[in-house]
Amino acid sequence: MILAIETSCDDTCAAVVTRDGEIRANVISSQGVHDRYGGVVPEVASRHHLELVGPVVEDALTQAGATLPQLDAIAVTQGPGLVGALLVGVASAKALAAAHRLPLIPVDHLHGHVAASFLAPDPFEPPFLILIASGGHTLLARVEDHGPDWEVLGSTHDDAAGEAFDKGARMLGLGYPGGPALQRLAEEGDPAAFDFPTAQQVAGLDFSFSGLKTALLYKLRELERADPALPARRRADLAASYQRAIVETLARRVERALEQTGLGRLALGGGVAANGPLRERMRGLGGVAIDIPPMALCTDNAAMIAGAALHLPALVFPSYLGLDAYATGERGL
Ligand code: KG4
Ligand code: ZN
């Protein structure tokens, strides 16, 4: 069994996963303190990780019926993410591993999102194309095997898709995180009410969301000038049209990538993969085998970090004691 710890952003996560990829425990403690600021405050996140990481690890071990000496290894997200937040996880993992002379497996957060598809009970086998869309990343990659060397085919020039959801939600007066709130408001609205841009002019398999964000801002200003008390119905129309533009931006790149690579298999990962209309749009792609992990494995979690660790080399004690976190990936994302 592997115990994994993930603290790259604002969720404090610990999981226990077996060698066969069976999830014995997957504990996620969302901090819920960042909504008042309209986004994650890094230093606040780090302090909360510090308080939560102990109890979250204990919870995961209890749920799995495991003790530390029984583990084969401890895995931890090394980066990319908020460096102070990552350091809490890295230091905790090092301390727990060293105390029991266990091996340590450092994991790249994005490899974790890919590995969410490898977990039981329905492992999705490479090769496949993956769309990872979260608050920090939006990219398309070709996954040939279970290891960390998957190939990035396209990524965003500016905002991540989740960021586009969060910023749009903020403009519409909704709380953080914006994705789920915007999806709820959009359910009351007409996705065809406004024609928002879908960045089709961006070359290749890259994405861009900044034009869309500006388009929403200008449309809101224009509507509020005409009627300062914007009716709820109109706000819902804006949310639905904006959401459709994000979904179409993602979906059309996925279609192009499937065509270009000839891959007939597609996986989704990252928090935005929890979005209902995106899941529906992807399920509608003809002739493609599709894997959309359960919601709890799409948003940040530690089970996916353990899933990646199963395919990575372990560092033996004491070689990992000097291990550091990294804020951005070598992939330059
Ligand atoms: O993967 P994740 O949990 O954390 C990062 O690594 O960023 O993704 C969080 C992002 C946030 O931007 C959030 O608004 C978005 O995923 N998200 C959604 C939904 N649920 C979460 N976006 C759209 N629709 C959702 N239902
Ligand atoms: Zn993530």
Residue 37: which pLDDT band, with cuts at 50, 70 and 90?
A: confident
Q: Residue whose CA is closest, atom 7 of ligand 1?
A: 135
Q: Residue whose CA is closest, atom 14 of ligand 1?
A: 179
φ, ψ at 304 (rounded to 5°): -70, -30
Q: Which two tokens stand for residue 236?
A: 């819902």
Does residue 80's CB lie within 6 angstroms of at least one atom of ligand 1? no
Q: Which atom of ligand 1 is nearest to the CA of 169?
A: 14
Q: What pLDDT, on the 0 to 100 scale, is given for residue 331? A: 40
Give the list of residues 6+ apart from residue 124 with CB closer than 8 angstroms, or none.
Answer: 117, 118, 265, 267, 291
CA of 295 to the centre of ligand 1 (A): 10
Does residue 7's CB lie within 6 angstroms of at least one atom of ligand 1? no
Q: What pLDDT, on the 0 to 100 scale, is given for residue 329? A: 62
Does residue 300's CB lie within 6 angstroms of at least one atom of ligand 1? yes
The DSSP call for residue 325 is -
Inter-axis angle of helices 178-186 and 232-261, nearest 10: 110
Question: What is the rounded (10 degree) CA torsion for 128, 134, 136, 141?
Answer: 10
Tell me: the pLDDT tens digits for 122-159?
999 999 999 999 998 999 999 999 999 999 999 999 99
Pocket test for ligand 1, best of 272, 278, 298 (most atoms within 8 A of CB): 272
333 pLDDT exceeds 50? no
pTM of this prediction exceeds 0.85: yes
Region 110-123 average pLDDT: 95
Region 119-123 average pLDDT: 92
Assign 140 to helix, strand or coil.
strand
Q: What pLDDT, on the 0 to 100 scale, is given for residue 201? A: 86
330 pLDDT exceeds 70? no
Tell me: the pLDDT tens digits for 277-310?
999 999 999 889 999 999 999 999 999 999 999 9
Task: Enumerate helices (H) and strands (E) in the chain, giving the number of each.
Answer: 10, 10
Q: Residue whose CA is closest, atom 18 of ligand 1?
A: 179
Pick the ligand that lies closest to the CA of residue 109. 2
Q: Which atom of ligand 1 is nearest to the CA of 134?
A: 8
Residues, CB within 5 angstroms of ligand 2 (ion)? 134, 300
Tell me: the pLDDT tens digits for 237-250?
999 999 999 999 99
Tell me: the pLDDT tens digits for 246-266?
999 999 999 999 999 999 999
CB atoms within 10 A of CB 181: 21
Q: What pLDDT, on the 0 to 100 scale, is given for residue 239? A: 98
CA of 159 to the centre of ligand 1 (A): 13
Q: Which range (110-114, 162-166, 196-200) has the least confidence?
A: 196-200
Pick the ligand that lies closest to the CA of residue 182. 1
Region 169-196 average pLDDT: 95
CA of 66 to the centre of ligand 2 (A): 26
Pick the ligand that lies closest to the CA of residue 272. 1
| Percent of the chain surpassing pLDDT 90 | 88
CA of 160 to the centre of ligand 1 (A): 10
Residue 34: which pLDDT band, with cuts at 50, 70 and 90?
A: confident
As a whole number of angstroms, the distance between CA 89 and CA 13 comes to 9
Pocket test for ligand 1, best of 11, 268, 278, 299 (most atoms within 8 A of CB): 299
Does residue 166's CB lie within 6 angstroms of at least one atom of ligand 1? yes
Region 70-94 average pLDDT: 97
Tell me the C-alpha to C-alpha distance, in Å, between residue 128 and each of 64, 118, 125, 278, 282: 31, 11, 8, 18, 14
Q: What pLDDT, on the 0 to 100 scale, is given for residue 200? A: 83
Residue 332: which pLDDT band, with cuts at 50, 70 and 90?
A: very low
Q: Which atom of ligand 1 is nearest to the CA of 162?
A: 12
Region 199-224 average pLDDT: 94
Does residue 165's CB lie within 6 angstroms of at least one atom of ligand 1? yes
Q: Quick check: bond before 318 cis, omega within 30?
A: yes
